[in-house]
Structures are given as structure tokens and as C-alpha cells.
Amino acid sequence: MSWLLLRLELRRWRAAGRKPVLWWRDDDARAPSAELDRLLDLAARHATPLTLAVIPDGDITALAARLGDTGQVCVAQHGIDHQNRRTGPAAGEFPPEWRRIRVATQLRAGWARLAQAPQAARIFVPPWNDIHPELACALEDCGYRGWSAWGEMASPGQAPRVDAHLDLMRWRGGARFRGEGRFLSDLTAQLASRRRSGAWSAPIGLLTHHLVHDARAWSFLETFLGWSRGQGGMTWNALPDLLAAAGH
């Protein structure tokens, strides 16, 4: 049923002469791992550009060496250390009382560590997709090219922002594959809302977390990447290019 509804939606896109634009972000890398090898292999075999959101709280030399220089993988800054400094249910690195200058100072320190990787692009991805009230201004102060959080279709503020919309995983009660039906109906809903508002070129972001994928998540990801380019008729773009377009 989910595949059927998705195919019907894609038929409407084709009738309008439009192709959906996708992009891919994977969060929480710090170092090389067997799971990272699997992710990079998947991206390479499907020739799909990938943005790795890397936590800059340690030495990233080994990670940078593993990534090599294929040009297919871009490294973005995933917060400062992925530590929750909030009280209450919503997690975030920056407590509400932190001022713009304090947020900016922390952003710069994280970037200084990440910038050692040749693949690093000055793009910020806040952990838990948490948006501190001073974050957008602090990113501008520091000269970031843009940022990426969750759920918006277009750049809501002045700084270029391209979000993720499709989570491969479910989180409540322990990380596990979201399920094919849920994932595909999320995608269909994202496509339909773009078609209805005429936002044909608004990218749809896939979010993965390679360190916690179960077997079903890996298997579906493989299927989806292959299908999206083939029968799905979708285009995968790189985040830096999408941010540059969003800034115009």
C-alpha cells in the first residue's frame, strides 16, 4: 500500500515534468568504525552524495584519513560535544541562558577541531535538532555557510538552512528501523506538500545514524537508495550545493 501511494504521488510529479530532489545526512560520527565502512560503501556503490555530521570533541585525524578525498562525502559540524546541558525533556547543548557571544565562542572552538579534516565544510548541524534562540545569529557571526536541522521546507531565516525530513530510525523505546510503511508514507507526505505548494525544488532530507542501524534499517536503506535513482526518478544533491542555492 505504501509503495502504491508513493508511486501515485510520483506519477503526479512526472505529469508536471518535475523530479524530486533528495539529500542525505548521517549524524554522530566521531571516528572510523565497521558501521562507517558500511555506510561509505553504500554511498559509493549508489554514487550518492553524503553529508557526515561529525561531533568535534576529539581528534578527528583517523576519521579524515578514512574518508579520503573522493569529493562525495562532506563533513559538517555536529554541535560542539553532543552533551546535553538542558534540564527538562528537550535535549540541547546550549542552555537557554547562554548569550550569543558564548554560543559563538563554543561554535568556533568546535570548528577549529573539525577544520583539520580536508572534507570539512563550515556547515552546522545542531544535536537533537535543537535550535537555541541565539544560534542563527551566532552562526552568522562565525561565518558559517549554512546549517541543517529538522522539518522546515525552506530557509526560515536569513542564514541558508536545509533541513532533514525523513528519519530512517525510530527512537522512543530504543533505536530501531522506522519501518518501511512509515518511512514511505512520510516520504509521500513530503512530496505531496511540496507539490501542493508549488515548492517542487525544495529538497527532502534523509536522516540516518550509522552507529545504531539494525539489519532491517541497513537493508531498507540499500533498497531505497537503488530504487530512488532508478524507478523513483529522484535526484540526489550535495548539501553544500543546496545551501548555496538556498542563499540566493
- Partners of residue 51 on adjacent β-strands: 25, 74
* Radius of gyration of the chain from its Cα atoms, rounded to whole angstroms: 18
Q: Which one, 79 or 232, has the nearer CB to Zn ion?
A: 79
Q: Which one, 162 or 191, has the nearer CB to Zn ion?
A: 162
Grid cell, residue 70, equals 573522493
Residue with cell 535543537: 130
Angle between helices 215-229 and 34-45 (to 10 degrees): 20
C-alpha angle 40-49-157 in degrees, rounded to nearest 5 = 125
Q: Which one, 78 or 122, has the nearer CB to Zn ion?
A: 78
DSSP 24: E
Sequence-distant (6+) residues with CB within 8 A of 215 are none
Q: How far is the CB of 12 from Zn ion (least distance, A)?
A: 34
Q: Write out the residues near Zn ion by the rule CB under 5 A.
A: 27-28, 127
Q: How far is the CB of 122 from Zn ion (least distance, A)?
A: 18
Q: How far is the CB of 7 from Zn ion (least distance, A)?
A: 33
Q: Which one, 25 or 46, has the nearer CB to Zn ion?
A: 25
Q: How far is the CB of 33 from Zn ion (least distance, A)?
A: 15
- Partners of residue 150 on adjacent β-strands: 164
